[in-house]
Amino acid sequence: MGNTIILARRPDLVLKLEKYDLLPKGKKGGIYEGCAKKWAKERMPPYDIPEYQAMAERLPIGWEEITAQEMNMLLESLKKVIAKRKNEKLDIPNKGSEKLLKSLAQIAFLGISTAATLLVESGLGILPDKDEKAKIQAKEFSFELVLHLINGTGFLNRIFRNIAETMHTSKKDQELIAEVLTLAAIFLAILAASNGNEDRLKSLITSFRHLFSKGLTKVEHFVSDKLANEAIRGEKAQHAAMFLQQARIALEKEDFDGFYEAFTGSIEILQIAPDDFIDDVKEIRVYAKKLHSAIQSSLNDNSNQVTAMSQSM
């Protein structure tokens, strides 16, 4: 046992090894096999930190213990990779591009949520005339259908990829930034469409559950990777990792209240307060109602005039 190294006791090192694709291949049957997952579940230090918990959950078992010789080889390989990385030109985002990204993202969020309120108010196509309940259901279906279509066709992601290109960073980072913004946009549009109705909100989250689950997993991995590489740091980054993990786990357990709280927390890190945002959307909703009524009234007046003219002839 003297030549055995318990790699699981160094999750900080494991994150770096994972980043540079140097993680040792899993070996079955070891005494410590699966110990990282167990320690993370029990929140045993150092697995009481969100990014280490996420890492333990993400990685397969079998890497937790290695020989001293394997450890020396890994450290040597890691040293070479890091030295090579230091010699590369790194493209670091500047403050100006960050401000531009936030401004453009907030404009896009408001636009998409405004469209959501208009769809919920007016619906699409020919709606039932007399059955009010059927009319409401038709409008709700219109919203879900359109949101699934613009997301499924990649339209939303393309918008946010264009916005992410304002950041002077790598293509991969831009893609993941676009993923974050797309998830936030869909969440805010759902909040706007549900209009404070908790049952409707849960129904919409369920409808888009697969999308949120897949996106959160990708983004959580991205944040953990950046924390390990110290590309992002500080309390906000730590909180982001924690909120993302909590949101994903809550969604898996169908804990919609927990998902809402965690995802709202992650959005607030983008300096968007969902409550204030929804207040703005409510004002838009009132305007949308008035606009829809005015248009409908105008159409009815024109229709009556045409009818009167045809009868007089």
What integer is the mean pLDDT of 197-224?
85
> For the chain, what is the mean pLDDT?
76
CB atoms closer than 10 angstroms to residue 289: 14
How open is the CA angle 137-273-50, to the nearest 5 degrees? 100
* Residue 225 or residue 93, greater confidence: 225
pLDDT of residue 88: 46
Residue at which a domain ends, from 87, 112, 134: 87
DSSP 98-132: HHHHHHHHHHHHHHHHHHHHHHHHH-SSPPPSS-H
Instruction: Indicate whether 267 and 131 sit together in one domain.
Output: yes
Instruction: Indicate whether 51 and 189 sit together in one domain.
Output: no
- The CA distance from 285 to 292, in Å, is 10
Instruction: Indicate whether 129 and 252 sit together in one domain.
Output: yes
What integer is the mean pLDDT of 198-217?
87
* Residue 139 or residue 49, greater confidence: 49
111-132 burial code (b ≥16 CB/10 A, e <16): ebbbbbbbbbbbbeeeeeeeee
Instruction: Indicate whether 155 and 258 sit together in one domain.
Output: yes
Residue at which a domain ends, from 67, 87, 107: 87
Number of structural domains (the chain) is: 2
Instruction: Indicate whether 105 and 190 sit together in one domain.
Output: yes
pLDDT of residue 130: 61
Instruction: Indicate whether 192 and 276 sit together in one domain.
Output: yes
Least confident of 13-27, 111-125, 155-169, 176-190: 111-125
Residue 179 lies in a domain: yes
Residue 300 lies in a domain: no
Residue with tokens 């390990």: 228
Residue 61 lies in a domain: yes
Q: Which residues contact 70 (CB under 8 A, 6 or more apart)?
A: 5, 24
Bridge pairing between strands 65-67 and 4-6: antiparallel
Domain assignment of residue 161, given as a range: 95-293
Q: Which residues contact 271 (CB under 8 A, 6 or more apart)?
A: 102
Instruction: Indicate whether 11 and 82 sit together in one domain.
Output: yes
Nearest C-alpha neighbor of 99 from the set 167, 42, 155, 37: 167
Residue 277 lies in a domain: yes
Residue 299 lies in a domain: no
- The CA distance from 260 to 267, in Å, is 10
- The CA distance from 205 to 45, in Å, is 34
The residues pairing with 4 across neighbouring beta strands, listed in sequence order, are 67
What integer is the mean pLDDT of 213-226?
81
Instruction: Indicate whether 244 and 212 sit together in one domain.
Output: yes
- Number of H helices and number of E strands within the chain? 13, 2
Q: What is the pLDDT of residues 82-127, one digit of tens each?
A: 777 655 433 444 445 566 666 777 777 777 776 776 676 666 555 5
- Which pTM was predicted? 0.55
Residue 304 lies in a domain: no
What integer is the mean pLDDT of 43-68?
89
Instruction: Indicate whether 138 and 229 sit together in one domain.
Output: yes
Checking if the pLDDT of 294 tops 80, the result is: no
pLDDT of residue 36: 94
Instruction: Indicate whether 147 and 41 sit together in one domain.
Output: no
* Residue 244 or residue 106, greater confidence: 244
User: pLDDT band at residue 47, thresholds of 50, 70 and 90?
Assistant: very high
pLDDT of residue 68: 86
Instruction: Indicate whether 133 and 243 sit together in one domain.
Output: yes
